[in-house]
Amino acid sequence: AQTVTQSQPEMSVQEAETVTLSCTYDTSENNYYLFWYKQPPSRQMILVIRQEAYKQQNATENRFSVNFQKAAKSFSLKISDSQLGDTAMYFCAFMRAEVGGATNKLIFGTGTLLAVQP
């Protein structure tokens, strides 16, 4: 069974600074996807970034980037130039790349609550 671990329950960063959120996972699969979701106080789940395991290049989306270390089973999220609107709970998630895309079940970590301080 796959598991996802986020070892930082809470983090804080000053506005305009850079912060890195950690995520590790355990799987015997070779093909899979990793995701970071953001959940602001509104409770809406928002996809931040996605990484395909077969890609060596780290994914980036504007101020958000990941450090994907497949051998170490590590998938950290870096937020550059932190903004007040980045204050949210961040969830790391894993999905097997099933043949035919059959069920696409997400397995989530327990989340990291990030507070951006003015």
Partner 1 sequence: DAGITQSPRHKVTETGTPVTLRCHQTENHRYMYWYRQDPGHGLRLIHYSYGVKDTDKGEVSDGYSVSRSKTEDFLLTLESATSSQTSVYFCAIGPPGSYEQFFGPGTRLTVL
Nearest to partner 1 of 89, 116 (CB atom)? 89
70 binds partner 1 (CB under 8 A): no
Nearest to partner 1 of 80, 108 (CB atom)? 108
How far is the C-alpha of 64 from the C-alpha of 48, rounded, in Å? 8
How far is the C-alpha of 86 from the C-alpha of 98, rounded, in Å? 32
Of 23, 91, 114, 116, the one binding partner 1 by CB under 8 A: 91
94 binds partner 1 (CB under 8 A): no
User: How many residues sit close enough to partner 1 to count as binding (CB under 8 A)?
Assistant: 23
Beta-strand pair 60-61/64-69: antiparallel
106 binds partner 1 (CB under 8 A): yes
User: Long-range pairs for 43-52 at CB < 8 Å and ≥24 separation?
Assistant: 45/91, 48/77, 48/90, 49/77, 51/75, 52/97
Nearest to partner 1 of 4, 19 (CB atom)? 4
